[in-house]
Amino acid sequence: MRLALCNEVLAGRDFAAQCAFAAAVGYDGLEVAPFTLADDPLALAARRVAEVRRAAADAGIAITGLHWLLVKPEGLSITAPDPAVRARTIDAIRRIVGLCAALGGRYLVHGSPAQRRTPAGVDRATARAWIAEALAAAAQAAQDAGVTYLLEPLPPDETDQVNTLDEAVALVREVGSPSLATMLDAKSAALAEAASAPDLLDRWLPEGVIRHVQLNDRNRRGPGQGSDRIAPIVGALLRGSYDGDIAIEPFEYVPDGPACAARAAGYVRGLLEALSPSR
């Protein structure tokens, strides 16, 4: 398991400095939000993509994958009533998949709650069908690029579409692509699921549909900075022989981004060491 930091936690530093800091405090990689690289990440020049990839390599860490996919450019939505907007968004997804592959990432996390809500005047079933259409296109692009596209369940206060792993798995199976899967975000699971995160992992890891994990607390801070117990989640990952990446994704940085990132790295690595079978 590689430990990755969601790079927006270090916003304000250039990408090379983000890589150097993440490596210094114990991360194996960065999970990159494309909007941190450019106002229009779809227009990144090949030279800039090479610079970003080289910065990670020079620091000795990986770009593990991408998340927050549809924040920029503005105006994207996979549930927009206007078919032209949906077509433009699907094109953007294909290009972001290509960006992930060009950066050396191996997965993309499709969260982007604002860009998948059911719009006023549209019924949920219709919006869900549009989501399935977009996921099918994303899965094909991911298969062509050799990466995995991951649908992220999010809590109802963020979106009304795909709140639970059951709902995400249903869409994944409906599309039926080996390059489409889902993932578990600890904060979202704590807020939206009836079952605990460890129980969800015990249920779904053997099915092969969970291929990524993000750790955080339901209070939106880093793992270990709230009431949620993270050790049982790590234990379930080890029990299930999980071999994907673990990403740290806080939304509130206490006391600040770098300190939150450093604390989380030490905390999660300590759990992994304590709970891993002795060799």
Q: How does pLDDT run across 188-238, given as a tens digit for each residue?
A: 999 999 999 999 999 999 999 999 999 999 999 999 999 999 999 999 999
DSSP state of 35: G
Residue with tokens 């983000």: 18
Q: Which CATH number do you get for residue 234?
A: 3.20.20.150
Report in angstroms the alpha-carbon separations of 133 from 56, 143, 191, 224. 34, 16, 27, 38
Report in angstroms the alpha-carbon separations of 210 from 43, 71, 93, 148. 31, 24, 21, 11
| Burial (CB count <10 Å: 0-12, 13-18, 19+), residue 254 | middle
**What distance in Å separates the CA atoms of residue 97 and residue 150, rounded to the nearest whole number?**
11
**Using one digit for the tens of pLDDT, what is the confidence trace for 1-48?**
999 999 999 998 999 999 999 999 999 999 999 999 999 999 999 999
Residue with tokens 């019924």: 123
Domain containing 262 equals 2-275
Please enumerate in sequence order all residues whose Cβ is within 8 A of that of 168, keeping only pairs 6 or more positions apart, or say none. 151, 152, 153, 162, 182
**Using one digit for the tens of pLDDT, what is the confidence trace for 73-89?**
999 999 999 999 999 99
For residue 69, give the 3-state DSSP assignment. Answer: coil
In this prediction, residues 58-77 reach a mean pLDDT of: 97
Place 277 in a pLDDT band, splitting at 50, 70 and 90: confident
pTM equals 0.97
**What distance in Å separates the CA atoms of residue 161 and residue 77, rounded to the nearest whole number?**
13
Averaged confidence pLDDT in the chain: 97
**Using one digit for the tens of pLDDT, what is the confidence trace for 123-171?**
999 999 999 999 999 999 999 999 999 999 999 999 999 999 999 999 9
**Count of the separate structural domains present in the chain:** 1
Residue with tokens 């994207």: 76
- Of 157, 105, 170, the closest CA to residue 131 belongs to 170
pLDDT of residue 279: 54
With beta carbons less than 8 A apart as the criterion, state whether 151 and 110 touch: yes
Place 256 in a pLDDT band, splitting at 50, 70 and 90: very high
